[in-house]
């Protein structure tokens, strides 16, 4: 089956540092990937749509300068949380939309803790 990986699975950082999270489709091409954020006991909230070779589309209320997205290849999208603060602590999940049939597959998620 189709596999999407995320790295790292868990990260703890100090306030003010930047953190990069990778989302890879391991066995399929994905022109489009999606980044979600999930706070404890809440649902997944879409942050942005990542498109290979073009700028990401951010949802309303999501700061694009704070959450930098780069979709450099058909199998890799990265989310960089710049100058992270404790309120950015959350569970970040990506999904990749398989080009051949537009079926979406989720990564296992990254738990970010900002001290």
Partner 1 sequence: AQKITQTQPGMFVQEKEAVTLDCTYDTSDPSYGLFWYKQPSSGEMIFLIYQGSYDQQNATEGRYSLNFQKARKSANLVISASQLGDSAMYFCAMRDLIQGAQKLVFGQGTRLTINP
Question: Of 12 and 15, which has the nearer Cβ to partner 1?
Answer: 12
Site string for partner 1, 24-63 (x = CB under 8 A): -------xx-x---x---xxxxx--x--------------
Q: How far apart are CA 83 and CA 29, in angstroms?
A: 31
Residue 95 in contact with partner 1, rule: CB under 8 A: yes
Q: Does 11 engage in binding with partner 1 (CB under 8 A)? A: no
Which residues make up the interface to partner 1 (CB under 8 A)? 31-32, 34, 38, 42-46, 49, 91, 93, 95, 97, 102, 104, 106, 108-109, 111
């Amino acid at each position: 089956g189709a596999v999407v990986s995320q790295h790292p699975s868990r990260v703890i950082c100090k306030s003010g540092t930047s953190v990069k999270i990778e989302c890879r489709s391991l066995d399929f091409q994905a022109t489009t990937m999606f980044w979600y954020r999930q706070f404890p006991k809440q649902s997944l909230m879409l942050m942005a749509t990542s498109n290979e070779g073009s700028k990401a589309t951010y949802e309303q209320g999501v700061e694009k300068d704070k959450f930098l997205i780069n979709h450099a290849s058909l199998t890799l999208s990265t989310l960089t949380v710049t100058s992270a603060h404790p309120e950015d602590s959350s569970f970040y999940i990506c999904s990749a939309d398989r080009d051949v049939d537009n079926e979406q597959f989720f990564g296992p998620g990254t738990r970010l803790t900002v001290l």
